[in-house]
Amino acid sequence: MPDLVADTPSERGATKVDAASLSVLAYTPMHLLAPFPGGSEAMAAALTEAYGVRLPAPGESLSADGAELRWAGRDQALLLGPDAPAPALHTHGAVTDVSDVYLRLMLTGPSEAADILARLVPIDLRPLRFASGATAKTLLGHISAQVTARADGVEIMVMRSFWQSAFHEIETAMTRVAGRAALPPD
Amino acid sequence: MRIDCPVCGPRDLREFTPKGAACYATRPEGEEWSEAWHEHLHLRENPAGRSEELWYHGAGCSAWLIVERDTRTHEIFSVRRADGGAA
Amino acid sequence: MRVAGYGRVDRARKLRFRFDGRSYAGFAGDTLASALLANDVRLVARSFKYHRPRGVMTAGSEEPNALVEIGRGAAKLPNVRATVQELYDGLYAESQNRWPSLAVDMLAVNALAAPFLGAGFYYKTFMWPPSFWEKVYEPAIRRAAGLGRFSREADPARQEKAFVSCDVLVIGAGPAGLMAAQVAAAAGADVLLVDEGTAPGGRLLAEDEAVGGKAGHRWAASLAEGLAALPNVRILTRTAVTGAYDGGTYGALERVAEHVAERGDAPGVCFWRIDARVAVLATGALERPIAFPGNDRPGVMMASAIRSYLHRWGVVGGRRVALYTANDAARRTARDLAASGVEVAAVIDPRAEAPPLVGVDAPLLAGGRIVATSGRLGLTGLTVKTGSQTHRIAADVLALSGGWNPSVHLACHMGGRPVWDEALGAFRAPEPGAPGAVPGLLPAGAAAGIWDTSGCLASGRAAGAAALERIGRAATEMDLPEAESEPGSQTVVFQTPGRGRAWLDFQNDVTVKDVQLSAREGFASVEHMKRYTTQGMAPDQGKNSNVGALAVLADVTGRTIPETGTTTFRPPYVPLPLGAIGAGAEGKGFAPERFTTSHAASRARGTPMIEAGLWYRPSFFPAPGETTWREACDREVTMVRGAVGVADVSTLGKIEFHGPDTGALLDLVYTSRMSTLKPGRVRYGIMLREDGHVMDDGTTARLADDHWVMTTTTAAAGQVMAHLDMVQQCHAPRLRTRFTSTTDGWAQFSIAGPKAATLLDALLDGGHDAAAVPFMACGAVQVAGVAARLFRISFSGEHAYEIAVPARYGASLWRLLVAYAEGLGGGPYGMEALNVLRIEKGFPTHAELHGRTTAYDLGLQRMLSPKKDFIGKAGASRVGLLDPGRERLVGLRPVAAQGRLLAGAHLFAPGARPVRTEDQGYITSACYSPTLGHDIALGFAVAGPDRLGERLKMVDHLRKCTTEVEICDPVFLDPDGERARA
Amino acid sequence: MRYSALRILTEGLTGNRGWKPAWRKAEPKPHYDVVIIGGGGHGLATAYYLAKHHGVTRVAVLEKGYLGSGNIGRNTTIVRANYGLPGNSEFYSHSLKLWEGLEQELNYNVMHSQRGIINLFHSDGQRDAYARRGNAIRNQGDDAILLDTEGVRRILPYLDFEQTRFPIYGGLYQPRGGTARHDAVAWGFARGADRLGVDIIENCEVTGITVEAGRVTGVATSRGPIGAGRVGMAVAGRSSQVAALAGLKVPIESHVLQAFVTEGLKPVIDHVVTYGMGHFYISQSDKGGLVFGGDLDFYPSYAARGNLPMAEHVIEAGVTLMPMIAKARLLRSWGGIMDMSPDGSPIIDRTPVDGLYFNGGWCYGGFKAVPGSGDCFAHLLATDAPHAAAARLRFDRFETGRGLMDEEATGSQHNLH
């Protein structure tokens, strides 16, 4: 019986233009937590019990014991890290394995990342407006994306089938930004 | 145009999709065709002024929103979640 | 010519350039226009209609005349304003819209026929004989049409788009804008200062005047430098705000690298989408020309532009300059020229009581009007009347100033009308808050009708404070620098009388007579006049001429200017390259690409990929020796029917539900009852739009008691997701169920054919007996140690399965599947074969669920549950949607085996004429069935299912094909489904 | 005064002083046989054909602003008859026949240019749908040719056949399709109607519709009451407001549709071309400007202006399809207010009020419809019976579901057509 080999785009995609670099992050288990109507408080309690963290408010990501809780749309959040979320969570809402649904790209250099992504993302990602830990669901060009500010840059999460397009778009933006920087001064 | 999504905050028009009059959010009673259904699907007040509309924040949080807006000036007066939820 | 000691070009850096084949030199800091004038090139263009010789008239983006082509080959850019194009070494420019050359232009004969080519003449002729319009007249007109040439090749330049947000947007970095920015910045607001020019300063760059005790341009530079150093200020130069849109959104065009020879990876231009909480309109004002006979010769320039050329570039466009104005402030032009040593020929002031000239040694012709000009390819002289006296003045430059128009365009982009200010002799922006005024856009400085520098500085400071107030910040005290404060007196002059043509719109060759004729013919409303004469519709959009034309129209119709009205201001303020607004869309960039996990493997086999929405899917898998797609398709179909085929079906939408009320939500969405589905089973369903027509179909599997997965078609996945969101949030917000799209998370493959179970048994872990899985069942399995989902469903009519693994294993599993299938005499199959397989089985796709069909039309009315409500139930119950005479789904086969069937053909009774009134239906899907050995088709025929066995005539006019067909059941193969259930 | 080359010559030689107003500035009379609300293309054409075909000349056209101030002067000027569904097929076919010869009919050069329209398609499925439509056009007796990729390349060599995101599989070509000079259509019909005795009254806003015992008797206007035997509404874009004056609620939503024009360039695009993978249609005017448009902005609006996301989308489609236009510069963009009906097709019908008739719901199709709409509406107003070419343009198709004309197949959602 042959083995199935996991595809690892994280080994393929990595590019660097000037001070910024773009890479694909490695596989991380991810589950979408969506409380049923009226179930938010109970799910939050279960979360606190299991991971010592509450349900994040819109635009917020929280980290705790080996897990990250990231707001992910209307009344839902992503749990990143654990292979199998605490069983108690299932009673209060939908827990869906989305580990393979999304791929995450990382663009490093906090101010460079904001400058590059300003070519693609219609929200203000400058660190002063979008500080480390902030997250937003928005667009990357024509691709739905979730962007999350990190201390060292911005993480961009897209649906897996879009990742090459997203990578290419960001790479192009990086090239243009670098091209501007290389113009002769007035 | 910018719409102040009650979940995400103010966002550019490009993240949203308008469906039409807010009546889409409320299905009429009855499983048989009726004047009420005709009105629901087809007839419109179509005001030149303040109107209530149903929008979808599809490229954001996926909330359906009731947007109160002026159709002459595009001024937006209020935005609330169609499911009645708070932010 | 250059004027020694003047201008801020870098005389140490000489730049070579070409214009119309001749080589010239300019300096770093020049524009193409200043360099041409420095080289005494006065004739730079021809006008649009009469091909009149034209020269540089302004020093900005409003330039009406000096439009040229820049670059060559595919990179050639037409209609570039020489006044904006900065010079770089090797710049290549050509004049446009002339033949054979600028100096000798054959179409200048049009000018001779001018009496017959007045406003709207073309509406009155070119009508006989009727067929001549397309054959004779229009081709001739089109040969003469247009300005610059347009290479048919793609633009090799790459452009860019970007977003930027700020608290306070300051549009224009002249004295008012700089002050506004400084006030806003000092209060800590996030400020974005943009200016169209190459450096902040606005008019200060072009005047000889002091601000704060320094030269104006130095004051501006040092202030801007201080601002740029602040963390909360960003400055964009070479950036014109082009439009005001709703909600504080502005568009702007930045010329990033059009001024350099070697751009590298930098974009030529960038289109900015600006989001601002409040904005200051400090766009300055544009000087107005005066209409008088012969006012369009090369050498006639705006008085302020002459000062710009002198002070910024050290250039004067001639040797002897005359000035024509009734405006004291414009006399600076004569003063500055005289100071620089340029000869001032005369100052002609239409005011009888014109004040005496100070500091200029030149004749003043008070009460004078210019009645004629001379000079074939450039101005040589003027004829001036004062009372009964006639003066002839030799001059090669004429400076004009008819007053100023505040640049209120942006303030009017939302339909607001500018307000005529009689005292100012100009239109003001609508008051903030007036109907149609752009919310949160505050005019300041010359844009607000303030002409003196001191007033502009104060106005800018006030606007900055007002902007702060709107965003809830307090302004700090700030002193104003000393500056000039005497605006001088002016008399508004739009036209001065005289015989001969007096130009208003220099670009479209609209003259005073045209406006008069327009009024005479009843086109007296300003919109009619504009449309009838084309006044203001050229590339400058009337920036130089609309107000003058309006004044002429008011004059001829005996109305005041406010009674006459204004035309509407529309974005963009400066012409915007489509490549900038559409940046990134060239080639594949128009829409993102979605790739399946098997994509690379398919490509490696030489498979042609076809677009399916944003996805790519394999069309067919060519085998050695095959030369047509049909051969491959037939082989793949036969392979599935006879052995086993594998196909990637991951593109179908997958939506996962959890929660106890999932069944209730699905019951509302689907026409049939889903809630009764047992765990481990799969059911086919259709969903309707609320108007009763079919939206989509697919299967739903109940993986566990409260865990479901729905599949949608590839095309409708996004639409269904939005629909589900709406149904849940608007119609069933209390149901305890949540769902999310997992389409991308699972690689899913179809395994179809009599040997499908054999393949699976070999593949799956744990001695699996796939054949024991009942038809329409589902469950968890393991493949090579990976948890997978198995569905026994069939879209081919064969014994078939779909297996899904987490997407990261997709590529690996696909390789395995193909290898196993090939080992069993099978292999991969593509979309072509998939389509044939489903047509043979009569399964509809979006060819049949095309948006106008109902469940009834598709023969699926039994799936409309009478026992529960569902979306679209009432809509579907309309009498017209249940009429037996509707076009309903049928199968069609040719009466003669070799008969061809074509999708898109229509159906008629055998003896009927193939015309609309005889139409009996149409074909939606057709193919050759290798299984049956003839063409088969699905289509819709009037009362179709009631007419099985009846013969019709298929007619395809387009492909010239007529085939006799027989109506049959849409299921061509295995009507009882024995193969799939086996 | 009759227009001719000779007239231009004689006027040119005598200082162009003899030209007369194209139409009279009429003062409202107390009563007309027919009052038409709306001095746009449809209203003016209706008045013209009422007088010309039915001898009804006591007609007033009431226009709120200046004549032709609505969509007749704000469109992308496309004229075609390439619809696929009964109702639209015969109607637009009829209209196109009236376009052919309109210059001679009106003695006014509306510059109807039959340069051909090509609708591109980008997949097998789209080709099949266009084949169906093309065959429907031929069934109607109009012209349609199905082109493959090479056929398109021969006619439109400047498209991107190699790199574009959605390859060009072919096109449906209607050689008789084309463009016309939009304003001239309004002016030509106005002048024609005026010469037949119709009163054209500008700056006259209708503020009320007088109904007595279920029958219309006249209208109230900003210039006083005007009695009328029959009243026709031809106010697409404002249909809901005007119908409401008679207490009617109509199946219309108003939406803004942007249009764009670039600076003049030497002509390169000699046809009307439409893209199939995103709404984009383009032609190049006889002045050299590229005239193009795309989708609605999708939100209800009465502001004749749009927003950036749609402008960007439209231009992006243009850039991927014909990359050369990246070098053209946008000069002006504007918006028209579309009367969007639930199936994207028009309505010419009676109303529940006797003597009050409705013409609207033109969606994207209003400009090309002008002569046909005028002729059919005139027929309805004059005879109280529908013209054969407009017999399916009924209000009740929505209620019954019978005879829906949903060309886009997007269903009962006004903004999706």
| Tokens at C224, concatenated | 């801007």
ipTM of the prediction = 0.98
For chain C, the straight-line distance linking the first and the last C-alpha, in angstroms and rounded, comes to 94
* Minimal Cβ distance to B18: which of D250, D298, D342: D298
Residue-by-residue DSSP string for A56-92: PPTTBEEEETTEEEEE-STT-EEEES-SS--GGGGGT
CA–CA gap between residue C687 and residue C698 (Å, rounded): 9
Per-residue confidence (pLDDT) for residue A1, from 0 to 100? 57
Q: Is the dihedral of CA C57, C58, C63, C64 positive or negative?
A: negative
Q: Which residue has the tokens 């049956």?
A: C932
Angle of helix D366-383 relative to helix D88-99, nearest 10 degrees, comes to: 100
Mean pLDDT of chain D, nearest integer: 97
Secondary structure tally for chain D: helices H, strands E: 11, 18
Q: Is the dihedral of CA C620, C624, C628, C634 positive or negative?
A: negative
With beta carbons under 8 A apart, name residues in chain D contacting C902. 131
With beta carbons under 8 A apart, name residues in chain D contacting B40. none
Cβ–Cβ of A93/C273 closer than 8 Å? no
- H helix or E strand, kind and range, residue C927: strand C921-929
Cβ–Cβ of D300/B42 closer than 8 Å? no
* Minimal Cβ distance to A122: which of B7, B14, B58: B14
CA–CA gap between residue C844 and residue D67 (Å, rounded): 51
Q: Give the residue ranges of chain A where pLDDT is below 50.
A: none
With beta carbons under 8 A apart, name residues in chain B contacting A144. 58-59
With beta carbons under 8 A apart, name residues in chain D contacting B28. none
With beta carbons under 8 A apart, name residues in chain B contacting D413. 19-20
pLDDT tens figures, D113-158: 999 999 999 999 999 999 999 999 999 999 999 999 999 999 999 9
Q: Closest Cα partner for C26 from C47, C7, C45, C53?
A: C7
Amino acid code (one letter) for D167: P
Site from A74, A123, A148, A157 to mutate, B interface, most B CB atoms within 10 angstroms: A74
With beta carbons under 8 A apart, name residues in chain C contacting B31. 869, 873-874, 877
What phi and psi, each to the nearest 5 degrees, are found at residue C552?
Answer: -65, -40
Per-residue confidence (pLDDT) for residue B47, from 0 to 100? 97
Q: Which three-class secondary structure state does DSSP give residue A163? A: helix
Q: Which residue has the tokens 């002249």?
A: C174
* Minimal Cβ distance to D3: which of C125, C415, C528: C125
Q: Closest Cα partner for C843 from C832, C864, C859?
A: C859
* Minimal Cβ distance to B61: which of A74, A122, A123: A74
With beta carbons under 8 A apart, name residues in chain B contacting C875. 33, 37, 41
CA–CA gap between residue C907 and residue C954 (Å, rounded): 5
pLDDT tens figures, C263-304: 999 999 999 999 999 999 999 999 999 999 999 999 999 999
* Minimal Cβ distance to D298: which of B17, B43, B51: B17
- H helix or E strand, kind and range, residue A35: strand A30-35
Cβ–Cβ of D240/B13 closer than 8 Å? no
Residue-by-residue DSSP string for C775-787: TTBEEEEEETTEE
Cβ–Cβ of B7/A58 closer than 8 Å? yes
Strands (E), C717-861: 738-741, 746-752, 778-783, 786-791, 800-806, 827-828
* Minimal Cβ distance to A139: which of B9, B15, B85: B15
| Tokens at A34, concatenated | 């969506």
Q: Which three-class secondary structure state does DSSP give residue C335? A: helix
Per-residue confidence (pLDDT) for residue A111, from 0 to 100? 84
Q: Which chains touch A (3 or more CB pairs under 8 A)?
A: B, C
Cβ–Cβ of A59/B9 closer than 8 Å? yes
Q: Which residue has the tokens 């201001």?
A: C569
For B13, nearest residue in chain A (alpha carbons): A122
Site from C167, C728, C730, C738 to mutate, B interface, most B CB atoms within 10 angstroms: C730
Q: Is the dihedral of CA D9, D12, D14, D19 positive or negative?
A: positive
Q: pLDDT band for position B87 (50/70/90)?
A: low
The pLDDT of B72-81, averaged and rounded, is: 98
CA–CA gap between residue C381 and residue C28 (Å, rounded): 33
With beta carbons under 8 A apart, name residues in chain C contacting A7. 597, 807-812
Q: Which three-class secondary structure state does DSSP give residue C228? A: helix
For C159, nearest residue in chain A (alpha carbons): A176
Amino acid code (one letter) for B39: E
CA–CA gap between residue C79 and residue D263 (Å, rounded): 8
| Tokens at D52, concatenated | 């010309």
Whether D33 and chain C come into contact, CB under 8 Å, resolves to no
CA–CA gap between residue C170 and residue C233 (Å, rounded): 11
Q: Which residue has the tokens 């085996």?
A: C897
Alpha-helical regions (H) of C162-253: 175-186, 216-228
Whether B32 and chain D come into contact, CB under 8 Å, resolves to no
Q: Which three-class secondary structure state does DSSP give residue C411? A: helix
| Tokens at C468, concatenated | 């702060």
pLDDT tens figures, C653-695: 999 999 999 999 999 999 999 999 999 999 999 999 999 999 9
Site from B61, B65, B81 to mutate, A interface, most A CB atoms within 10 angstroms: B61
Strands (E), C296-337: 300-302, 320-325
Cβ–Cβ of D167/C611 closer than 8 Å? yes
Q: Which of residues 29-68 of B touch C (CB under 8 A)?
A: 30-34, 37, 40-41, 54, 56, 58, 62-64
* Minimal Cβ distance to C726: which of B56, B74, B76: B56
Q: Closest Cα partner for C509 from C291, C325, C703, C662?
A: C291
pLDDT tens figures, C950-980: 999 999 999 999 999 999 999 999 999 999 9
Cβ–Cβ of A73/B12 closer than 8 Å? no
- H helix or E strand, kind and range, residue C709: strand C707-712
With beta carbons under 8 A apart, name residues in chain C contacting D134. 904, 957-958
CA–CA gap between residue B76 and residue B63 (Å, rounded): 17
CA–CA gap between residue C672 and residue C698 (Å, rounded): 12
Per-residue b or e along C759-771, where b marks 16 or more CB atoms closer than 10 Å to that residue's CB: bbeebbeeebebe
CA distances from C369 to C291, C324, C352, C424, C666 (A): 11, 8, 10, 22, 83
Q: Which residue has the tokens 């096109």?
A: D171
Per-residue confidence (pLDDT) for residue A9, from 0 to 100? 85
CA distances from B72 to A152, C128, D337 (A): 45, 45, 11
Q: Which of residues 299-338 of D touch C (CB under 8 A)?
A: 303-305, 307-308, 311-312, 315-320, 323-334
pLDDT tens figures, B13-65: 999 999 999 999 999 999 999 999 999 999 999 999 999 999 999 999 999 99
Looking at chain C, how many residues does it have? Answer: 982
In sequence order, what are the beta bridge partners of C657?
C708, C739
| Tokens at C71, concatenated | 């670059």
CA–CA gap between residue A118 and residue C166 (Å, rounded): 13
With beta carbons under 8 A apart, name residues in chain A contacting B1. none
With beta carbons under 8 A apart, name residues in chain D contacting C584. 316
Angle of helix C717-726 relative to helix C662-669, nearest 10 degrees, comes to: 110
What phi and psi, each to the nearest 5 degrees, are found at residue D201?
Answer: -120, 105
Amino acid code (one letter) for C680: G
With beta carbons under 8 A apart, name residues in chain B contacting D301. 71-72, 74
* Minimal Cβ distance to D286: which of C141, C157, C159: C141
* Minimal Cβ distance to C874: which of B37, B56, B63: B37
Looking at chain A, how many residues does it have? Answer: 186
Tell whether pTM > 0.95: yes
Q: Give the residue ranges of chain C where pLDDT is below 70.
A: 487
Residue C43: exposure state from Cβ atoms within 10 A (0-12, 13-18, ≥19): buried
Tell me whether the omega of the peptide bond preceding residue A122 falls within 30 degrees of 0, making it cis. Answer: no
| Tokens at C516, concatenated | 């008069």
